[in-house]
Amino acid sequence: MALFREKRTVNDLFGFDWQHGPKGRKRPMIAQSFDKIRYQTRFAIHVATRDIAKRLASAAMMLVILWWVGYGTVALSMSGILVAYELAAHWLAQKLPERDEDITATYVFTVWLVNCSSVLFYLAPAFLLAAEPSSAMLLAGFLWLFGVFVHITNTFAALPFYNWSLMAPSFGSAFAVFWLASENAFLPSSEGEWIITTGMMVVYIFNTFETLHKQKDTQRALNAAREEANARLRALEHLSRHDPLTGLLNRRAFDEELEHLITQRRLGSELGVFLIDLDGFKPINDTYSHEAGDQVLQAVASRLSKLVGDTGIVARLGGDEFAIAFRTITSEKAALRLADYIARAIQAPVEWHEKELHISASVGIGLTRHAGTTVEGLCGAADQAMYRAKNSSGISAAIYRADDFERRLSLEDRREILAAMHSREIRPYYQPKVDLATGRSIGFEALARWIHPTKGPLPPNLFIPQINELGLHGDFLSHMAGCVLHDIEQLLAEGLNPGEVSINVPEVALATQSGRADLDDLLSRHPNARRHITLEITEDVFIARSADTIQASIAHFRSEGLRVSLDDFGTGFASFQHLRQLEFDELKIDMSFVADLGRDPTAEVLIRGFLEIADGLGVSVIAEGVETEGQVDHLRRLGCRLGQGYLFGKAMPIDETRIRLFAESSRDVSPAEVSPPLAEPAE
């Protein structure tokens, strides 16, 4: 089965600052800077409201001093102004949005203006005291000035935008006070003035220590915000690794854990993968309801979890398929005995609304002695064995042994495939990518089809594995890319714009210098068409042994003006950490998530998360496998603008593609008018 053809896992959580990472098409510098300012604004409000009482108490002391030295009217006016500023700060705190992304530029400017203008009024007493002909009052003014310095630098140390915005007028005020002092002739100070100055020194020392203590509170608030954000990201990561219905590991998490089991396997010990397909499940879904089917799946998951315990791992791979990996299998006989236990556990009836629902299971077993020690080998072996068990009467389980299964490919197979490429029996078909709001094509994905002279049209899953096994990746890519570039040039010559056309690029073309050079050479021969090419890669590039070379190749092609699309996002190996390392322009959300929209709330949560990730990375998003208008409505509500699937058109030959483009260029049409959806599985 296709789900076992590729190794796919997610290892790492993405960091708190993921939306500013250097990957793909970077967000504009201004947008990134504003994101940071919004984040700092939240904590500027926090510390401002926290210290209101302290600031007003200190200001009251200073205003009393001003009244004592003869500035009663000024002190009274300033008291009203400072109270108004603090009330404004409190009001702004009440209006602070819950999410950083909802903080507007107007709000940020208002907070900044209130802080900057209020600090000038807090500094004003220093000017008045410096103008007094008393050295004691001058020192009092300087103590007040330095106290404001200490408060700003320690309170806003982690918020550079506000720290420097407030320090700039403070520095200017200091120079102004120095100038006033230089212009003044000082008289001997009275004992009372020196007592006031000494008292201010005590207050200055006390406030300095208190400000340093409260700096820890600011840091705690920052750390709490980071932890809250990371907790949300961990929750999203958990959702992306577990099946929402049963709570079991999903496919990619199973692959990851299986890889770990293989790595930790003791020398000489046997490890086994059991692939389980439920028989009789579909009639339950069709006859009773999806609710009944869900009850059956949950019951099976619970039974398998109890059976496996801590001796292995269990996962739901999708639909009615489960997988188990046992750490130690002593013999083939023991493996078959375990398969029998599994089948019996599943055969026990499931109660639903006073009815007993009955199912059975076909179990395929892949053992390391026969299938090797790779995830792909073990899962592929279990896959083949499961199909044998399912198609054989009288048995519920089968073990994969290489000699018992289909033959290896031969030189004759290689010759036939090469001849099919040469004669263009293998050719690109084009599936439209559309704007969900208008239904109009914005590009196409080139998908391989083999128009076999005796077997008829063959989908890629019937010949791509053979191409890979025979090592014809490079020949196949050159053939497909050449055909696509030729087709694009024809369309352009006819005045038609195909938009961005995606070509699936295998790892081998990116992992070697020769592969990159061949693709470069091919693209250089079609300068007009290459501008329309998008290179589509899967998340498997992250596990390639030549990952650095692959990333360098991707960077090279992007520098040459080509776009890069990350296909089947959310189902493969790429963790969120890996997204920080790879440059790309487009994410394609896998059809498995789209299919569950409207049925499984988790699908909506995950897709919203993917869209937020893409927005943070500055890349576009295409939802794959769109088959219903309901899915379109859900996607548009979530903010997804582009889609691909049978609702908008099947993959079609170049002649039909040309007709579609002609129709769209001459009049407004719906996708159904141009290419009616077929009752086939989505691409």
Task: Report the alpha-carbon distance of residue 519 to residue 5 in Å, rounded.
Answer: 25
First to last CA, the chain: 15
- Give pLDDT, residue 336: 93
- Give pLDDT, residue 210: 60
Architecture of the domain spanning 28-225: Up-down Bundle (1.20)
Task: Report the alpha-carbon distance of residue 497 to residue 343 in Å, rounded.
Answer: 56
Please determine whether the domains at 28-225 and 411-674 fall in the same fold group of CATH: no
User: What angle (nearest 5°) sits at the alpha carbon of residue 25, between those of residues 552 and 15?
Assistant: 85
- Give pLDDT, residue 79: 85
Q: What is the mean pLDDT of each run of 10 residues along the chain (683 residues)?
A: 35 36 51 74 76 80 83 85 85 82 85 82 80 75 76 70 74 75 64 63 59 60 66 72 90 91 80 94 86 93 93 92 92 93 94 90 93 89 90 87 73 90 95 93 95 90 87 90 96 94 86 84 92 86 63 87 83 57 83 87 89 87 93 93 94 95 73 40 41
- Give pLDDT, residue 555: 86
- Give pLDDT, residue 122: 82
Domain residue extents for the chain: 28-225, 245-404, 411-674
- Give pLDDT, residue 349: 93
CATH homologous superfamily, domain 411-674: EAL domain (3.20.20.450)
526-569: per-residue pLDDT in tens?
999 999 999 998 766 655 555 677 888 888 898 888 999 988 77
Q: Which helix (H) or strand (E) holds 7?
A: none
- Give pLDDT, residue 299: 95
Q: State both tokens at 589.
A: 């959300």
- Give pLDDT, residue 290: 87
HSE (side-chain half, CA atoms, 13 Å) at 535: 30
Q: State both tokens at 655.
A: 């002649």
The top-level CATH class assigned to 245-404 is alpha beta
Task: Report the alpha-carbon distance of residue 572 to residue 24 in Å, rounded.
Answer: 18
